Structure 1
Amino acid sequence: MNLLIADDEPAIRSGIGRAIEQLFPDSTVHTAASASEAVQILDAERIDIVLTDILMPGMSGLELMRITKRKYPRIQWVVISAHSEFRYAQEAVRLGARDYLLKPIGRSRLQELIRDLAEEVRQDDRRVKESERLKASQRFLREGVFQRLALGLDTGNLDIGSFMEEYGGFYLILVQFEAEDRDVHLEHFIVENVLSELIESRGKGFVTSCGREALLALAELNEGEEIDALLQEAERHIKRYVKLPFHLAGTGRNTDAARIAEQVALLKRASRLAAAREATEPQLKGSGEAAIEVALAFIREHYSEDLSLEKVASIVYLNPVYFSQLFKQKTGQGYKDYVIQLRLTRAKELLLDPRLRLAEIAARVGYQDVRHFTTLFRKRFELTPGEYRQQQEVKVLF
């Protein structure tokens, strides 16, 4: 049986630890002086029972419990405190704590509690150990394949099609920390749990490491759910718990696993640009030009989706008005004109395919209203899509 005692008071940690080792000689006791140390131990060891103080530096014991419950659902939690306030006990019970003990803790009460929890742990182990092993193996395989895809590495003989068939259309989300060589283990843990919970509440997916200072998520959302809403809520939650500067960005909807590395590179570049913007005031011309290059790459990739100026400006972390000015300087065109020209140029190519109906072509280039598409096409090229097909001698097959 493995126990963890998380308390910032050395005397409490050592006192409870010695008592448990004497009462239960077969147990292994780990100690942590902070939530950050506790998270590292939880990741490294298979902990069965956690006794945590409420008030610790950086993150409270209740917050630690909340963010770890999803990843370690089988752990038995006991909250220890010098405060008898009802609100603390109420929150502890709501989070699933098995007991709320006031300091100093009596030896007999501690023995009774640990004995009961240990028996529950033994019964639970028999039921779930094999299931957990199988799930863990599947998770490590899935995340390992995904990490290689994200880095553009060879996946060998692995069948990527079967790996991705569960996700018909997915979004990628990157969280990049500005860590400056400090330990970000706790921040990784927090963001992984926040993103995982939000994704599971809106659809399905997973979160994995993308280097020491970044996390990458894959999410398929339920019908009616929007990626922008997920990103906004994720940012609010992360700001609540993470004190380091960070950048969060997401892609549009993807269907091709082979393009994951390209999309991840785009997200990382956008994060670097955002960091450069915040570090230099006034903004350097070079950073602005690079931001427009990232925006242009995004537009060319997602021209069939919603491409409001505000959305694309947010992807490269620029104010919409400033983004519009930079865009015209860089391309010689207004943002709206550029998108229309790109879409209609692509539409001309699609019109040469006799198998495609006009409504399908309009949808493929971002227009659900065929009449609106036809009006734009005629205004741009001085002939309708049908007249263009006649001019190009395209014989439609329907």
Structure 2
Amino acid sequence: MHVLIVDDERTIREGLKRTINGAFGDVRVSTAASAAEALGILLRDRVHVVFLDIMMPGMNGLELLAQARGTHKGIKWIVVSAHSEFAYAQEALRLGAKDYILKPFGKEQIVKTVAALLEEWTQEETHPSGRGLLEQNLNYLREAVFRRWIQGLDIGRFDLRSIQAEHHRFHLLAVKLESNPELSLRNFIVENVMTEYIGQCGNGFIVNLDGDFLVGVVTLKDEAGAEWFRLGAIAHLDRCLKVPYQLYVSDLQTDFYAIPSEIRKIYTSGEERMPETEGEGSSADHKNDVIDIAIQYMKSSFQDNLSLEILSSVVYLNPVYFSKLFKQKTGTGYKEYLTKLRLERAAEMLADPALSVTRIAELVGYPDVRNFTQVFRKHYNCTPGQFRAEKSHVKA
């Protein structure tokens, strides 16, 4: 079994490595001081378990988990953090983490955790899940065949109808990266991020076609459109890329067997077909667009149960990242912004004497009138009833 420890604190990395090596002589242990270094190891080696710190400079642990889980579904993720906030643990588990360990931790806890993981890994190696293994191998096979097909290479006796059956109405997508020494690592990041995003938006895949050029096919869910998908893809890519790139998403396509010729046109036409150049220079505008979409959704649905997870899913962003982005854009947290929307609407409704305070509370998203009254008092320094009486007195 191969264990990877990802933590920016050297003492934590080395301490975990010594503990695991001391207790399990047949377990291989690698370490990484950053998310970028960890992605490099994941690209080169087969890793079975990752001990992952949340708070690291640059890309944090949750962002790494969100990016890497798409194409590393067999990895067991153990999040290690000094932060006991429930939101961190909830988000880690939502992203697929197997466990959440709080610092400081004892050697016994780590040994017990690794022993359980080693037993689980041994069972899986001895008795692999036939269905899961088959599905994973079929996905790899289809992507490899697709790559050869669009390159004009022989695909043997493989029947493309098995792929075509899933994509009657689809969009082509392409990502062109600026060439640089870290190209292989960035290709890996893009492939993981886009694989994850495509899975959220519908069905499809993306493959590395020619060095810095990645292409894919996606069949979107019924309510999604190409521009909506493109906007979300930009937001995802801007999180992990600090170099210029170009993104192309086609209009709706129906001729599956024309894909090779269409991709060749995209590849040869270059900037004429892919005019949107993204990266550090223009990412702020697209991030603002994503937050604008979220704000419009809040204004139209503030009466609903709008948790951070629900709101971030509307624009297909990681909740932790969305929260930071929202505060950068608005200067306030999403919860405070939502509360302000609700109370402003409640203040307007209080002018209607036919509506009871209980009914108004329900209409603006507070099923518990006592909670509504407490929140209202904190914001306006008076109860809803006092606010109504004061406004009625002013009118009189």
Gaps of 5+ in 2: 279-396
The 3 A distance-change label for structure 1 pair 100 and 168 is closer
Contact 2:246 2:275 (C-alpha < 8 Å) held by counterparts: no
Q: Deviation of residue 175 (structure 1)?
A: 0.9
Q: Deviation of residue 3 (structure 1)?
A: 0.8
Contact 2:244 2:277 (C-alpha < 8 Å) held by counterparts: no
Secondary structure at 1:26's aligned position in 2? coil
Contact 1:52 1:79 (C-alpha < 8 Å) held by counterparts: yes
Contact 1:149 1:260 (C-alpha < 8 Å) held by counterparts: no
What letter matches 2:146 in structure 1? F
Matches within 5 A, 1:175-190: 175-178=175-178, 180-190=179-189
Matches within 5 A, 1:1-398: 1-84=1-84, 87-125=87-125, 128-178=128-178, 180-273=179-272
1:222 and 1:70 map into 2 onto residues whose CA distance is: 19
Count matched residues.
Answer: 278
Over aligned residue pairs, what C-alpha RMSD do you find? 3.0
1:313-352 Cα deviation digits (max 9, x unpaired): xxxxxxxxxxxxxxxxxxxxxxxxxxxxxxxxxxxxxxxx
Higher radius of gyration, 1 or 2: 1
What letter matches 1:265 in structure 2? R
1:144-170 Cα deviation digits (max 9, x unpaired): 221122223344544434542332233
Secondary structure at 2:105's aligned position in 1? coil
Secondary structure at 1:14's aligned position in 2? helix
Contact 2:71 2:195 (C-alpha < 8 Å) held by counterparts: no
What letter matches 2:160 in structure 1? I
1:276 and 1:224 map into 2 onto residues whose CA distance is: 26
1:78 and 1:202 map into 2 onto residues whose CA distance is: 27
2:126 and 2:29 map into 1 onto residues whose CA distance is: 22
The 3 A distance-change label for structure 1 pair 163 and 95 is closer
The 3 A distance-change label for structure 1 pair 138 and 30 is same
Q: Deviation of residue 191 (structure 1)?
A: 2.8
2:222 and 2:89 map into 1 onto residues whose CA distance is: 39
The 3 A distance-change label for structure 1 pair 44 and 274 is same
2:257 and 2:275 map into 1 onto residues whose CA distance is: 29
1:104 and 1:192 map into 2 onto residues whose CA distance is: 35
Q: Deviation of residue 270 (structure 1)?
A: 4.9
Question: What percentage of residue pairs aligned between the two structures are identical?
Answer: 37
Q: What is the TM-score of this pair, normalised by structure 2?
A: 0.61
1:104 and 1:203 map into 2 onto residues whose CA distance is: 41
What letter matches 1:79 in structure 2? V
For 1:388, the equivalent position in structure 2 comes to none
Gaps of 5+ in 1: 280-398
Secondary structure at 2:30's aligned position in 1? strand
2:275 and 2:217 map into 1 onto residues whose CA distance is: 26
Q: Deviation of residue 173 (structure 1)?
A: 0.2
Contact 1:202 1:221 (C-alpha < 8 Å) held by counterparts: yes
What letter matches 1:188 in structure 2? N
1:194 and 1:277 map into 2 onto residues whose CA distance is: 19
Q: Deviation of residue 224 (structure 1)?
A: 4.2
Q: What is the TM-score of this pair, normalised by structure 1?
A: 0.61
Q: Deviation of residue 124 (structure 1)?
A: 4.5
